[in-house]
Amino acid sequence: MNTLAVVLEEPERLALKEVAIAAPGEDDVVVDIEWSGISTGTERLLWSGRMPDFPGMGYPLVPGYESVGRVSETGAAARSRLGERVFVPGSRCFSDVRSLFGGAARRLVVPAGRAITIREDLAERGTLLALAATAYHAIAAGGEARPDLIVGHGVLGRLLARLAIAMGGDAPVVWERNPDRADGAEGYTILDPSEDGRRDYHAVYDVSGDPQLLDTLIARLAPAGEVVLAGFYSAPLSFSFPPAFMREARIRIAAEWREPDLVAVKELIETGRLSLDGLITHRREARQADDAYRTAFGDASCLKMILDWRAS
């Protein structure tokens, strides 16, 4: 089989082209993708050529791990999944290009267990499940503590703030310097860092991706406070030891989400405790993929860009 896919041929050179995909096996499902999201973290690094070396890294590749579609065909062991609307966190079904992460395509073949059934009414908002699970993992891995300062008010920062409240914490403060992103708070406070004099934060979650920020964040900690690196950093991080020593600061790295995190956020969404509203700001048809990626990475007003595959 063939499918239409976004292919990063080399840094900053993207094409929409036909690629070959594997036939489904007994335990696989074929998903006709309706929408896929563009990540401004990892996909920006892939697009720019700044992604650190990972297993499977190389060009040409199909990016994307935020896809929603409908199961159109199944193997013999997955017949019950036919017709379901599902979230797909990427695929490795391509035979002539690399899959990192392999979700930005019109059709995908994945093991049935990787196709997560979602409510019909979630529609394109279902693409946000991966980011929601990432935010949940960052908080849940820290135990009972909840973020009281979040740095960055993009989609991940907003989800962290919403989850902090949904998971029983107090409303956090969110730092954001860009006025284009300083709105949309739902029960929490947004401040420019220059307006915030506090130096007693217990849990600071950084999703800015800025490798130069650690000293600033450590200076805002209470004794025995924690900085959680919940973004993705392409450059080495460093910090001045004496201030961290004086505060007995902790630094924790939040890894990518796991299946229990996805299950947990799905339950929060379906019970109405976590809203995904207001996070998707831009949409393009798949044939406009090059413009979509450049807008997602270059327009500060773009929180989340969605590719619409339905007309492709």
Burial class (CB in 10 A: 0-12, 13-18, 19+), 199: exposed
Q: What is the pLDDT of residue 51?
A: 84
pLDDT at 56 over 80: no
pLDDT at 52 over 90: no
* pTM reported for the whole predicted model: 0.94
Q: What is the pLDDT of residue 29?
A: 98
Q: What pLDDT, in 10s, does the model give residues 248-304?
A: 999 999 988 999 999 999 999 999 999 999 999 999 999 999 999 999 999 989 999
Q: What is the pLDDT of residue 90?
A: 94
Q: What is the pLDDT of residue 255?
A: 86
In percent, the amount of the chain with pLDDT more than 90 equals 87
- Averaged over 135-154, what is the pLDDT? 93
pLDDT at 100 over 80: no
Q: What is the DSSP string of the chain?
A: -EEEEEEEEETTEEEEEEEEBPPP-TTEEEEEEEEEEE-SSHHHHHHHT-PPP-TT--SSEE--S-EEEEEEEE-GGGGGGTT-EEEE-----BSSSEESS---BSEEEEEGGGSEE--GGGGGGGGGHHHHHHHHHHHHTTTT---SEEE--SHHHHHHHHHHHHTTPPPPEEE---GGGS---SSSEEE-GGG-----EEEEEE-S--TT-HHHHHTTEEEEEEEEE-S--SS-----HHHHHHHT-EEEE-----HHHHHHHHHHHHTTSS--TT---EEEEGGGHHHHHHHHHH-TT-S-EEEE-TT-
Q: What is the pLDDT of residue 22?
A: 93
pLDDT at 145 over 90: no
Q: What is the pLDDT of residue 242?
A: 98
pLDDT at 55 over 80: no
- Averaged over 198-223, what is the pLDDT? 96
Q: What is the pLDDT of residue 143?
A: 84
Q: What is the pLDDT of residue 269?
A: 96
Q: What pLDDT, in 10s, does the model give residues 111-144?
A: 999 999 999 999 999 999 999 999 999 999 988 7
Q: What pLDDT, in 10s, does the model give residues 221-253?
A: 999 999 999 988 888 999 999 999 999 999 999
